[in-house]
Amino acid sequence: MNLFALITIALPALGSAVTFAGARDARHVKFWSVAPIAAALFCSLVVQVAHGAGGTSTAITELAPAGQYTVWLGTRVSGLSALTGILVTVVALCVQVFSLTYMREEKRYPTYAALISLFTAAMLLVVYSADLIVLLVGWEIMGACSYFLIGHYWERPDARSGSIKAFLVTKTGDVPFLFGIVALGVRAGSFRIDDVLHHVGVNGLPYAPFIAVLLLCGVVGKSAQFPLHTWLPDAMAGPTPISALIHAATMVAAGVYVVALLYPVFLLSPGVLTLMAVIAAVTMTGSAVAAFAQTDIKKVLAYSTVSQLAYMLGGLAVGGRTAAVFHLLAHGAFKALLFLAAGVVIHHVGSNELSAMGGLRHRMPTTYRTMTIGLAALVGVPLLSGWFSKEAILGAAWDAQGGFAAPGRIVLIAGLLTVGLTAAYATRLWLKMFWGPFPAASPDEHRVEAPQSELVPLIVLAVPSAVFGFVALGGGAFASWIGGAFGLAAPAGTGADLAPAGPTSAISFALTVLGTGGVWYAWRRDPAADPARLLGRWRETALYGFYLDDVQDLIIVQPAKALARLVGFLDTEVVDGYVRGAGMGARGLGGLLRRVQTGNIQLYLTALFTGVIVIAAAVAILVGHGAGAVR
């Protein structure tokens, strides 16, 4: 089992290395981009089957001693990592297959495909790693790959700025995350994940709130949560398949995965859980409003991703670890489907703008049907995967309500409000894309559908988007699969709360109908108008993300630029001034001495004689003053 986990990591890395090393022939690039990840998917399935529903398996070898600590190289397979590994490989394979035709005209396709494979290997390293330091390596490789992939179209200013912004903002969270990993390993006496979890469970953890906050900073940056979420919408400048990979199942999900992995550390810090709930509540509602106002289809889905990730963080904040992981897996499937389907539509229309779309259900029936399934799962239409997973989180929040400021109450109120907002922006997106007249329609235009290599991934992802939620009806099966918070098998009977029941189901269904019905009614009254007008005077504010970019520019960027200008001034005018002054002084003195050195012997003797006379006179004067003082 652990051998197959290691092979799962190695295969995409091998494909990336071969492509980088010089596989420039189109057929070779296609083979090395698809075949290794397909084999990795098979291995991840073997890992899951071999693991079953019990405990954790670890196979390690010493990598490097570091004083009294040791860095271990090896794999750790739990139910959580096994299921997440399947999600990563499925989405990565769909993205690579989709890209075969989507990027066929792209000259830099070999580099693109190699980076996707390397990115996949890095995420799998995070998922299967047995050591926190090795996990951190995979974490940082993902950040570097995302920088290059978002900036793939480097000749475009928005791609360059988006990649730089993504790198800098995520690094803002990664720096404290690094310190948190170091502090956790030092306090636990080991960087092995099993040892850390055992130590926390048996002995507790000194300074647990401080360490949890440091870890949370990295999670907030990687998973694009308030206030470090602003990089994600700008990252849409990259190719659409990259959005499906990075923003559905891999990098943004890594933060939530780490919280679920190290969950006992956060359970020791109730104040941090409350902070997590507040961050999740602000993020999910604000991002849902921003998604409703966007005119770019990819930015709608980007803000939707931010909002859904906040659901997962909120579930973890209220003790719903199983529910949060359930939504992580379901969201990975339907959001990857939505991004890839959006890519098909963008290729067909030639624009990201919703104003350039409409009436596409007749021209692109397969895309229409699969994207409808994805949007319905996102909204939480009953019996689809998103309904089961979001209801599980809301149910966990209901059970953990407590007082007004308790995490449960905060997540519940924000989560229910976001249910209605999600239904509103998803319905608007669906109507603007597939209904109404096509802006450039002509009577003789025929149906235009995407190539099979692009449609097959949509159909494959539509299946789990539709049926994955039914695992919630299996009693405690899902909780047993992912294991407990300490890596042990979950007790029998746990996880039954994943099945939707209670007041939250009725309330969320009513809010879904209200959000969908309100947008449908506004659209039917005036199909030419944008339902986003329902936001009124808040529409422009939401369109620009509540001007958080401007706030960050005012608070962080401008002071940093001012400090840089001050440092530059001190360097060029003060430090360099001293250097230039010393040089000029030496040069002036040298010029003076050069003027004296005339080569005239008589002048030298005269100067020497004059000097002797001056010195003798000075000595006589000093002696005379000394004698007078003695008298």
pLDDT tops 60 at residue 456 = yes
Retrieve residue 526's tokens. Answer: 């005036």
What are the tens digits of pLDDT across the range 295-343? 999 999 999 999 999 999 999 999 999 999 999 999 999 999 999 999 9
HSE-up (13 A, CA, CB side) for residue 290? 25
Report whether the peptide linkage leading into residue 65 is cis, meaning its omega lies within 30 degrees of zero.
no
Report the 3 state secondary structure along 243-294.
HHHHHHHCHHHHHHHHHHHCHHHHHCCHHHHHHHHHHHHHHHHHHHHHHHHC
* Residue 494 pLDDT greater than 50, yes or no: no
pLDDT for residue 480:
80
Burial of 182 (0-12, 13-18, 19+ CB in 10 A): middle
Q: How confident is the model at residue 496 (pLDDT cuts 50, 70, 90)?
A: very low
For residue 382, the Cα-to-chain-centroid distance in whole angstroms is 29
Highest mean pLDDT pick, 19-23, 359-363, 460-464: 460-464
Range with lowest mean pLDDT among 155-159, 394-398, 489-493 = 489-493
Least reliable range by pLDDT among 90-104, 107-121, 377-391, 563-577: 563-577
Contact 162, 234 (CB under 8 A): yes
When comparing pLDDT for 340 and 625, which is higher? 340
Q: Which residues in 400-422 are b (16+ Cβ under 10 Å) and which e?
A: bbeeeebbbbbbbebbbbbbbbb
Using the structure block, give the residue that is written with the tokens 């963008």: 346
State if pTM tops 0.85: yes
More confident residue, 402 or 221: 221
* pLDDT over threshold 80, residue 2: yes
Nearest to 419 by CA among 512, 326, 529, 516: 512
pLDDT confidence bin for 444, thresholds 50/70/90? very low
Beta bridge partners of 70: 65
Closest to 428 (Cα-Cα) out of 375, 356, 374:
375
Q: Within a 10 A sphere around the Cβ of 278, how many other Cβ atoms?
A: 18
- Per-range mean pLDDT, top range of 260-264, 438-442, 497-501, 536-540: 260-264
Give me the mean pLDDT over the 573-592 stretch: 82
User: What's the mean per-residue pLDDT of the chain?
Assistant: 87
pLDDT tens digit string along 77-130? Answer: 998 999 999 999 999 999 999 999 888 878 888 899 999 999 999 999 999 999
Dist CA 550 CA 445 (whole Å): 44
Q: What is the pLDDT of residue 624?
A: 74
Write the pLDDT tens digit of every residue in 230-279: 999 998 888 888 888 887 767 888 999 999 999 999 999 999 999 999 99
Q: What is the pLDDT of residue 531?
A: 87
pLDDT at position 487 is 60
Residue 571 DSSP code: I
Q: Which residues contact 577 (CB under 8 A, 6 or more apart)?
A: none
Is the pLDDT at 495 greater than 50, yes or no? no
Residue 549 has pLDDT above 60, yes or no: yes
Q: Which residue has the higher pLDDT, 446 or 138?
A: 138
Chain centroid to Cα 22, Å, comes to 30
Residue with tokens 């019905």: 517
With both helix axes pointing from N to C terminus, report the angle between 297-317 and 321-349 in degrees, rounded to the nearest 10.
Answer: 180
Q: Are 523 and 531 in contact (CB under 8 A)?
A: yes
Q: How much is the pLDDT for 491?
A: 46
Token digits of residue 334: 């339907």
Q: Which residue has the tokens 């047993």?
A: 480
Q: Report the first-to-last Cα separation within the chain, whole angstroms.
A: 107
Contact predicate 113/18, CB 8 Å: no
Greater model confidence, 167 or 51: 167
**pLDDT at residue number 46:** 93
